[in-house]
Amino acid sequence: MPEQQIFFDPERKRWKRLRRILDATAVLSTLVVIGFIFNVIRSQQLPELLLPNPKHKYRALPEPSILERTKNQHPARRKTGRKPSEIPLNTGEGLRAAYYVQDDPASYSSLKEHIHQIDMLFPQWLHVDSPNGTLMMMSGDNLREYPVIDSAAVHDPDDLNKVKHVIQAAKEDTEIFPSINNFNPHTQE
């Protein structure tokens, strides 16, 4: 049986029909695009919905009094004016404590940002890492370790006064309680 081609059209009858359909589609789509552009340029107003217009009752907020402004400056956590170290535990007085690590720049920036919320500060300044039990501290640049008490004097653990300046600049009554640990920063033990 000889093979006949299904789509073979030597007289091109199908092509004439397809060409007419494509031409009509092109003309129709061109008219639709022109009509759309014309309507966009003309910018017709759409009919309004038949909904009632909302009425807004705007009014100014009352200005807060001086008492409310001073009350909102400090968070409501402490109820008395006593020092944080004088407050007995479990009395419902909200005390906030924080740790400060001298060799961490993020710790210092966090201290500066949140000093108004801190009642007690526990800086890690002091180390007892030798067998003889000598109380040691690190320098402000954390390069050398030296004794707090030597034959000449007693050294301030906050040798660059960074913490004191932050507390004084904020005019807060944050109390400092240095924590003592047995970590040797040089040997990491």
- Rounded-to-integer distance, Cα 151 and Cα 139, Å: 18
Question: Beta strands 120-127 and 179-181: pairing type?
Answer: parallel
Residue 98 has pLDDT above 90, yes or no: no
Mean confidence (pLDDT) of the chain: 79
DSSP helix/strand/coil, 176 = strand
Confidence of residue 82 (pLDDT cuts 50, 70, 90): confident
Helix (H, G, I), strand (E, B) or coil at 154: strand
175-185 confidence digits (pLDDT tens): 888 888 887 76
* Range name among 37-46, 47-56, 64-73, 142-151 with the lowest pLDDT average: 64-73
Across residues 43-65, what is the average pLDDT?
79
Please state, in angstroms and rounded to a whole number, the distance separating the CA atoms of residues 69 and 66.
5
Pairwise CA distance, residues 44 & 39, whole Å? 7
- Whether 143 shows a pLDDT value over 70: the answer reads no
| pLDDT score recorded for residue 32 | 97
Number of helical H runs and strand E runs in the chain: 4, 6
Residue 166's closest CA among 104, 103, 127, 116?
Answer: 116
- Continuous segment of H or E residues that includes residue 175: strand 175-176
What per-residue confidence (pLDDT) applies to 34? 96
